[in-house]
Structure 1
Amino acid sequence: MATGTDPADLATGRGGGVHEASRAAIAARHLRTDRWWLAPALTAAGLLAFVVYSTWRAFSNSDYYAAPYVSPFYSPCLAENCVPMKAGPNWEIFGSWWGLSPALLILIFPLGFRLTCYYYRKAYYRGFWASPPACAVAEPHRKYTGETRFPLVLQNIHRYFFYAALPVAGILTYDTVLAFRDASYAWGHAGLGTVVFLVNIVLIWAYTFSCHSCRHIVGGRLRHFSRHPVRYRLWGLVGRLNDHHMLLAWTSLFSVAFADFYVYLLATGTFDDPRIF
């Protein structure tokens, strides 16, 4: 059936998209009557709020340690200009030449993991670029090339950021264990900050293991699940987590920001950490 579309346009991705002359001439941009714009607007607002907050905290280079807690934004601390701390890894492998905030040395890995995450890609494509703004709502762009061109083609490195996110999560687990000490570093202590760190690390691991890359690594490229019962069982467990990937993406994003903010409040002397036992 002739469509009236230039084959060259189909091959190159040029054309008018849903407004192509060969499409049905419908004046309305969509036929949805609900508040379809609310979800992408809230998504954009939530992501923007995190970007603003994390940028401020990463460049502030202060108030990230309150014994025995260290902010997850600054752990592990890899520069010589880190404040003296005993609450977490403080490996001065970058020496004194690094003059900026030490958070910038480590945040690239968890942020890169989230930035290239399949869910977050959908979220900010819709929220910021309106590509598309919502289901059954035409995007305003005249052409669509997907993730086939620079810089979006770099999104495919997500699977490698997954490997980088694992040791970061492991170090934050170590920080959580050390949170069971008091300000004098004696064991057998639990404060409200300990609970905050526990909840945060559980959500971080749940989000990490619910990742699509993790699911593929565990059970991908298997022709016969029956010959790999252990991997099949792990694949099923990761699959159940993957069903809640969006929820875990948001809750872990909030928890890591809240853990940092809690340490900030303690470090600035806003209040003392309430002791549980």
Structure 2
Amino acid sequence: MTSLDEEVLFDVRDRVAYITLNRPESRNALSQAVVARLSEVFTEAAEDNEVWAIVVTGAGDRAFCAGGDLKELNRIAQEGGRFPVPMTGTERNLFELVLEIGKPVIASLNGPAVAGGFELALACDIRLAAEHASIGMPEAKRGMGANFATVLLPRLVPRSVALTMLYLGDLMPPDEALRWGLVNAVHPAERLAEETELFVRRLVANAPLALRRYKEMATKGWELSVPAALRLNVGPNPYLSEDREEGVRAFLEKRPPQWTGK
């Protein structure tokens, strides 16, 4: 196993891809190499038909992800290297990639999700948080731009709430994040992994083509008018699938369905 493979753990078990940021000593910060590796494993999970859902979390309990590796960014600046600017360069933006994956993506926030770590969580569909997992964008305190969050946050919460978070850069406690819908549930830290597993197992018990259809339609129809979105036809068509036939039969026969993803 290479050093980078140790910093980003990737495993597929029973229809679920598990991605773990494994840099607890640096609060799972996003170095440039880690960002590149995350893009690779998220893409692999997205393209694997045997994967029906994705879970991303961090190692330890100090942080889900503290955002960009500031020591590395400072070194790049000091050495006169190319500073990584969002949406530029040869590589696709990680957060945009995660947002557009056509499968459910769950963030299991084992600790604070801050700056780029919060943006990674925002790119996911579902966020389950430990009781100590505060969230926020302290970018204004660092002279940074919060490119992804400035677009996503005002779409997820009232504009005044989003701008307060961005302007002040304060961290939001998980109970307040739950109130605004920025996290879906808050659990005791010692139960988070178990609760995440229960959630994702309930999810992949459902028809995979339907899940993919929901993700594609909800994402690509987000800013369309209702008439235009209703006519949007993206993702697999579950209506004419073998799984639809199986789902109806299983319901009538009072047995669990056996999905094939076809």
* Greater Cα radius of gyration, structure 1 or 2: 1
TM-score of the two chains, using structure 1 as the length reference: 0.28
Structure (1/2) with the larger strand percentage: 2
- Greater RCO (CA < 8 Å, at least 6 residues apart): 1
TM-score of the two chains, using structure 2 as the length reference: 0.29
Structure (1/2) with the larger helix percentage: 1
